[in-house]
């Protein structure tokens, strides 16, 4: 397993070891002791799997009082995945990390609690998995609008398919 630090404190890009041959491949997507050794010590309490079509953008989401840490990956297709620092007291406030996760590079992104998260689908279909450190609570959710001018994420799609809820998210400046 290879680990790459990012410009955002605690946000990690993880390259699991992939064992492949003519039959296919095998990789461990999580092993508690190994991930603890790289600083991911939180317990995971919920696993999610979403399937989305090309052009769908989900995010940027966060929970206000029970923030979720997320270990994310893609098992089918490709997405552009983003973590955003939304802590106004942070030296990296308003900055983001973005990268492609797909079923060929097998990359994972660890997003500690407190960061906003979102992704857009680049392939015809994408299956997206995420392990969460807190339970989903619809009464606690918030976020930041996907095209916030102050964050200026270079999304690889110009007119994404958004949920009604995601269309109404505030800007970073207006607060979550």
Could you confirm whether 130 is annotated as catalytic? yes
Q: How far apart are CA 52 and CA 120, in angstroms?
A: 9
Out of 35, 80, 115, 130, pick the active-site residue.
130
Q: Which has the closest alpha carbon to 126: 74, 165, 55?
A: 74
Q: Which residues contact 95 (CB under 8 A, 6 or more apart)?
A: 7, 8, 84, 85, 151
Collapsed DSSP state (helix, strand, coil) of residue 146: coil
Give DSSP secondary structure letters for 74-120.
EEESEEEEEEEE--TTSTTTT-EEEEEEETTT--EEEE-TTEEEEEE
Could you confirm whether 106 is annotated as catalytic? no
Tokens of 112: 């500690």
Out of 61, 80, 106, 115, pick the active-site residue.
61
Q: Please identify every residue annotated as catalytic.
A: 61, 130
């Amino acid at each position: 397993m290879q680990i790459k630090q990012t410009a955002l404190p605690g946000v990690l890009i993880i390259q699991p070891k992939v064992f492949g041959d003519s039959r296919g491949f095998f990789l461990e997507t999580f092993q508690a002791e190994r991930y603890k050794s790289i600083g991911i010590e939180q317990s995971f309490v919920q696993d999610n799997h979403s399937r989305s079509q090309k052009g769908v953008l989900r995010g940027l989401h966060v929970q206000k009082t029970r923030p979720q840490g997320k270990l994310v990956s893609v098992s089918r297709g490709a997405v552009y995945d983003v973590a955003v620092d939304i802590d106004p007291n942070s030296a990296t406030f308003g900055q983001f990390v973005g990268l492609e996760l797909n079923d060929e590079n097998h990359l994972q992104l660890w997003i500690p609690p407190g960061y906003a998260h979102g992704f857009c689908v680049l392939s015809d279909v994408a299956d997206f998995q995420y392990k969460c450190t807190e339970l989903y609570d619809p009464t606690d959710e918030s976020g930041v609008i996907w095209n916030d001018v102050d964050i200026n994420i270079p999304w690889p799609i110009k007119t994404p398919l958004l949920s009604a809820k995601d269309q109404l998210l505030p800007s970073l400046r207006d607060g979550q």
